[in-house]
Structure 1
Amino acid sequence: MAETLRVLSTLALRGAVHSLAGRYEAAGGARVEADFAPTLALLDRLRGGEGADVVILTREGLDEMAREGRVVADGCVDLARSYVGLAVKAGLAHPDIATEPALRAALLAARSVAFSRIGASGILFAQLIERLGIASEINARACIIPSGFTAERLVTGEADLAVQQISELKQVAGVEIVGPIPRELQTPAVFSAGRVAASSKAAQSDRLLRFLASSEVAPVLRESGLEP
């Protein structure tokens, strides 16, 4: 039976990790058992002593874990860059969000906007609506979720627009990506991976890290909505 590596990963990489895990095992690598949550939740779990072999977090989160000695600093690798975007329920009109004024108007016109409370995209969005001067209007009718996929609230009809990393929006069936928030209004998140210091499977974990950082995984990352 193939050895199993436990991976804790941010939600933004769920689609890519699911696709890559099967390829890795088929090529003779260890079986990957992955669990997904927002970075801030994963940081709490790691600090609480939860075991894992490899973690995929925002670069800032991974650096925190390395400083605390929970992740081996040598060997950490950057995997992908990710932008925050908007989605609507499939079949509905796509609002214009190409410019700052157009985005502001689209957000104000929405009956409700779904975003996450602790994910990187939710933190960015909360700062963005403050910058746009519409925080009170948007928050008054927002659908704020503690974790998970915001686009699910489009399918249930609880929101007209969903905000999240594009790779996360793409995980939900029945929705359509409108596009990224204008890039001048956001700083892309960088997602990175490292080996957990307490892992007893150092060699196997490092092999997986090399695979995840290799050029052969780039098409899978792009397909999932990420930039290698």
Structure 2
Amino acid sequence: MQKIYRSLLTTLLFASVSTGALATEVTVMISGGFKAALEKLAPQFEAESGDNIILISGPSMGKTPQAIPARLARGENADVVIMVGDALKNLEKDKWLLPGSRVELADSSIGMVVKQGDPEPTIEKQADLRNTLLQAKSIAYSDSASGRYVSSQLFKKLGIEKKVKEKAHLIQRIPVASEVAKGKYALGFQQVSELMPVAGVTFIGELPEDVQYITRFSGAVTAKAEHPKEGKALLNFLSSAEVQKTIRATGMRSVKTERPINPRDTVQ
């Protein structure tokens, strides 16, 4: 009986090790805009594929060492990168990506938050947004695509660039909403999908459509990917029709969807 028990135990252990050995770790470098969507969808992909997803976070652009281009340049490994489409195009030009592997994933709009409990201003129209910005004690924006638009174009479009210059602040690397939640800034602007997951803030809504800026998020397999097949399978999964409801629930838009995000929508 003891021999039979040992034999059975050995068989089970061997089966467990063998099954684990078949699982591939797909390493994904990802910027904040699409991260919430991938975190929600990862368990489904892992269950269906048998592979495991390893996430490495970093901005799509900027000067911080954590930025995805900087990580790749110093030799960090990744099978897939998911980031702002324009920044991805630069990686493609520099030969960091596997040719033909780019996949369009989602569109992301810019929204605004205030600290939870603070008065909730209206930004439905340009005039409302302009008045809100002029009255705010401080304004925060990111060091990525949304922040570049806010600082270099939005303020100009609203004719308030000089008036808000001293109270507008660039936030590097960390979520803008987290600084607003701490009370460091009165208003925070970033991709809606990066604002919504942060506790301690109230999502006011998207920028008005006539001054909105839509950022495309895309993914690609890297040129030095250890698991290119599995990486492409992940991108195909993330762009499939079956996952669009989950992507939209995180505050992003399907590539062909133009519906603005309502602050009253509930994110599950």
Normalising TM by the smaller chain, what interval? over 0.9
Query: Deviations along 1:41-67, whole A, 9 cap, x unmatched?
Result: 212222333210000011111122122
Match of 1:5 among 8, 21, 26: 26
Q: Which residue of 2 aligns with 1:33?
A: 54
2:44 is aligned with 1:23: yes
CA distance in 2, matches of 1:133, 1:44: 35
Match of 1:206 among 232, 237, 254: 232
Work out whether residues 113 and 160 of structure 1, in 8 Å CA contact, stay in contact via their aligned partners in 2: yes
Q: What SS does the aligned partner of 1:57 have?
A: strand
Larger Rg belongs to? 2
Greater than 3 Å deviation, 4+ residue runs: none
Q: Which residue of 1 aligns with 2:92?
A: 66
Match of 1:122 among 147, 151, 162: 147
Work out whether residues 124 and 186 of structure 1, in 8 Å CA contact, stay in contact via their aligned partners in 2: no
CA distance in 2, matches of 1:104, 1:60: 28
Q: Higher relative contact order by CA 8 Å / sep ≥ 6: 1 or 2?
A: 1
1:38 aligned partner, one-letter code: P
Q: Which residue of 1 aligns with 2:193?
A: 167
Structure 1 length normalisation: TM-score? 0.94
Q: What SS does the aligned partner of 1:52 have?
A: coil
Query: Deviations along 1:140-169, whole A, 9 cap, x unmatched?
Result: 123421111111122111111110000000
Q: CA RMSD in A?
A: 1.4
Q: Show the 5 A alignment for 1:20-169.
A: 20-40=41-61, 41-116=67-142, 118-126=143-151, 127-169=153-195
CA distance in 2, matches of 1:123, 1:29: 39
CA distance in 2, matches of 1:123, 1:35: 23
Pick which of 163-172 and 130-139 moved more: 130-139
Deviation, structure 1 residue 139:
2.8
Q: What SS does the aligned partner of 1:184 have?
A: helix
CA distance in 2, matches of 1:68, 1:144: 28
Q: What SS does the aligned partner of 1:159 have?
A: coil
Q: What SS does the aligned partner of 2:176 have?
A: coil
Work out whether residues 34 and 83 of structure 2, in 8 Å CA contact, stay in contact via their aligned partners in 1: no
Q: Which residue of 1 aligns with 2:10?
A: none
CA distance in 2, matches of 1:172, 1:139: 26
Pick which of 9-18 and 130-139 moved more: 130-139
Q: Which residue of 2 aligns with 1:227?
A: 253
Q: Which residue of 2 aligns with 1:196?
A: 222
Q: Which has the higher strand share?
A: 1
Deviation, structure 1 residue 200:
1.9
Q: What SS does the aligned partner of 1:151 have?
A: helix
Gaps of 5+ in 2: 1-19, 62-66, 255-268
1:152 aligned partner, one-letter code: S
Deviation, structure 1 residue 185:
0.9
Deviation, structure 1 residue 91:
2.8
Q: Which residue of 1 aligns with 2:264?
A: none
Work out whether residues 26 and 54 of structure 2, in 8 Å CA contact, stay in contact via their aligned partners in 1: yes
Quick one: structure 1 residues 97 and 208, their matched pair in 2 at CA, closer, same or farther if it must change by over 3 Å? same
Q: What SS does the aligned partner of 2:149 have?
A: helix
Q: Which residue of 1 aligns with 2:210?
A: 184
CA distance in 1, matches of 2:179, 2:123: 20
Work out whether residues 83 and 180 of structure 1, in 8 Å CA contact, stay in contact via their aligned partners in 2: yes
Work out whether residues 146 and 213 of structure 2, in 8 Å CA contact, stay in contact via their aligned partners in 1: no
Give the fraction of aligned pairs with identical amino acids, expressed as a percent.
33
